[in-house]
A and B are shown apart, each in its own frame.
Chain A
Amino acid sequence: MVLECKHVWKQISNYIDGSVPLELRDSIETHLANCRHCAAVLDSTRNILVLVADERTFEIPVGYSERLHARLQEEMGV
């Protein structure tokens, strides 16, 4: 199966998640090996997702957990 770039873009999220069927995965990888643009799109998307998932990107407010459990304790009336 020969894929165009737009077909690879449509599958890129499932490909990152490892959830494309084997045959399609092979076709995507053949395309990626020959298309520097799609390879760069894949690498940049993966890189951005790693940065987004890093716990430094989004921080919980200081004292959030303590306030939450204090409120819970108050509600439970203990």
Chain B
Amino acid sequence: MTTPESISPAVPQEPRDARDRDLIARILGGERELFHDLVRPYEKSVYFAAYSLLQNEQDAEDVAQEAVLRALKHLHTFRAEAKFSTWLVSIALNEARGRLRHNRLIDFESVDEVREEESGDFTPAVISDWREVPSDALERKELRELLRSAIAKLPEIYREVLVLRDVQEFNIAETAAALGLTEGVVKTRLLRARLMMQKELAPKLNTGRSGLLSLFRLQTRGSWF
């Protein structure tokens, strides 16, 4: 069983914030080459933020590049009291939303429809026991695809929160800052996103006879391998 600490950010944030402030001051002072070092720790987060909305690798990479270039161009507008990481990710999310609108994949009406779901009631899949799926089972392509598919099925407002908090391991405050939401809204959406994931995946991953992956277990004599 995991502990809450195991899904917290692995890197202490305070030293990184101080490092970022120092780098930003030097970049704005003329050492522009240091911008590479400034963005490097966050370039994965930028990509995943874009991917969480676009669900397409090429579009996500294009948007990530545009977001980083925009951050370079507008670095002088960055406010020191904010975190550079959340500012950069919020730029990526805005770029991604702009591209979605441009592609006509969503419109304001569809966003409003999803927002109404916030008043709905969400329940988990009620199961009577759980046999842990070890992380090494991720070597199986079927499991990785099942997880990606479950995230892709989440409504956008829940997917973006889950990706920042649980894939990128931002804390609640950072997730809220990047999305321009209150921490309360982030917590509510995170609860629903997590329960939706459990509801979608637990029956498939569990040891029940009808579980999709139990087929793989049977093929390998009850093991994940």
Contacts and interface: CB of A to CB of B under 8 A. Distances in A.
Nearest to B64: A68
Interface residues of B, number: 59
A45 B198 contact: yes
A61 interface: yes
A12 B191 contact: yes
A9 to B, nearest CB: 6
Given A13-B194, A16-B194, A47-B133, A53 B206 contact: no
* Pairs of residues from A and B, 10 with the lowest C-beta to C-beta distance, nearest first: A18-B4, A13-B191, A43-B130, A56-B138, A44-B202, A40-B130, A45-B198, A44-B130, A40-B127, A41-B124
Contact of A61 (B33, B57, B187): B57
9 contacts: A40-B129, A50-B6, A53-B169, A58-B148, A61-B61, A64-B61, A67-B65, A73-B36, A76-B35
B61 A12 contact: no
Interface of A: 5-6, 9-10, 12-14, 16-19, 36-37, 39-41, 43-54, 56-58, 60-61, 64-65, 67-69, 71-73, 75-76, 78
Given A53-B166, A71-B65, A78-B32, A37 B132 contact: no
Given A49-B166, A76-B33, A57 B194 contact: no
A17 B151 CA distance: 20
B65 to A, nearest CB: 5
B200 to A, nearest CB: 9
B130 A56 contact: no
**Main secondary structure on chain B at its contact with chain A?**
helix
B138 A54 contact: yes
A46 B2 contact: yes
Interface stretch (B13-21, B43-51, B98-106, B214-222): B43-51
A71 B46 CA distance: 15
Contact of B72 (A44, A48, A72, A78): A72
B207 to A, nearest CB: 11
- Please indicate which of the listed interface residues A5, A12, A47 has the most CB atoms of chain B within 10 Å of its own CB: A47
Contacts of A54: 135, 138
A46 B65 CA distance: 33
